Amino acid sequence: MKLICVEEHVLDPAIGAATQSRVRAEAPYLPDWGSRVIDGQQVAAPSRPHVVAPAESARKALDMGRARLADMDAAGIGMQVLSYGGPATAHYCPE
């Protein structure tokens, strides 16, 4: 059976930079969002959905190349439908 993920997000540094001041004004909590989360900790079943730390989430979303394909292979995913993440992408872009 071929697994297809239909809601996978990618980040674009230019979009993040262009929206950063607006997002910080409207959502000042974002810089600290998920700061205490460590991916893979306290996960009962790794095959089930779980929270991914922001730095790891950003790494995955910024990569549309080999690392994404390797992650897909490791998870048995044959295809992903990608879309750009929302304005919160600014959280991951340097000022």
Structural domain includes residue 84: yes
Q: What is the pLDDT of residue 33?
A: 66
Structural domain includes residue 75: yes
Structural domain includes residue 45: no
Structural domain includes residue 24: yes
Q: In DSSP terms, which residues pair with 84 in a beta bridge? A: 10
Structural domain includes residue 32: yes
Structural domain includes residue 27: yes
Using 50 as the pLDDT threshold, list the residues of the chain that sit under it.
89-95
Structural domain includes residue 82: yes
CA distance 50 to 54: 13
CA distance 24 to 29: 8
In which domain, by residue range, is 31 found?
3-40+50-92
What is the total count of domains within the chain? 1
pTM reported for the whole predicted model: 0.62
